[in-house]
A = this chain, B = another copy of it.
């Protein structure tokens, strides 16, 4: 996915302290083409200013999935920057400009971002891979995983996505998750294979399913407003 010349892809990681969401700006420093992954609507002003101050051209607004814990900033960013909204085809969101299948790529400057279908947290979960970096959404967290107890969550499916798809990337691949609750910002595939307590260390699918079954997590506070709003790329948020 990387060009043969000196790498020019830059990442700017941004955090929403309320929902513990990481938003990413991906920037090809050569062409100034940029994509944003998983923006949060309450952080729209910060993200807009950041894009303008960095003097980059926002081409894509990419969602890893239909979030249940926050409303996306996609609609507001699209209105301002005229960028394309990108999501996995299995999300079935009508408002996206591009719906990707597993293995599809989109171009960002001289880079190709590859969509990797990683269902399990939801059916439409996509990870995005480019230049040695995997943006793993709610499939793989640092020393954890997304939950599988609501929406279309399915632990067996998530186990397959992580162990058969993400864990087949090179060990040095950087892992950038959609959330972190412990103050980690980055990991690698190699680290997660060795140390992830839920499905690393050679844990079996049945062990993973048992762990996920016993989590007993509370329902996300915003699920009732976030999911319908995100099915509309955040356009409906003022009416909710």
Contacts and interface: CB of A to CB of B under 8 A. Distances in A.
Interface of A: 12-17, 20, 23, 43, 46, 50, 53-54, 182-186, 191, 194-195
A185 to B, nearest CB: 5
A118 B5 CA distance: 38
A13 B46 contact: no
A12 B54 CA distance: 23
Contacts of A53: 191, 194-195
Contact of A12 (B15, B16, B186): B186
B186 A13 contact: yes
Contacts of A182: 46
Nearest to A52: B195
A183 to B, nearest CB: 4
B191 A16 contact: no
Instruction: Tell me the interface secondary structure of chain A in the complex.
Output: mixed
Nearest to A188: B54
B46 A183 contact: yes
Contacts of A12: 185-186
A71 to B, nearest CB: 16
B185 A14 contact: yes
Nearest to A54: B191
Contacts of A191: 53-54
A58 to B, nearest CB: 17
A185 B17 contact: no
Contact of A183 (B14, B184, B195): B14
A50 B17 CA distance: 22
A184 B182 CA distance: 17
17 contacts: A12-B185, A12-B186, A13-B186, A14-B185, A15-B15, A15-B184, A15-B185, A16-B183, A17-B20, A43-B183, A46-B182, A46-B183, A46-B184, A53-B191, A53-B194, A53-B195, A54-B191
A13 B195 contact: no
A190 to B, nearest CB: 10
Contacts of A194: 53
A182 B13 CA distance: 12
Nearest to A194: B53
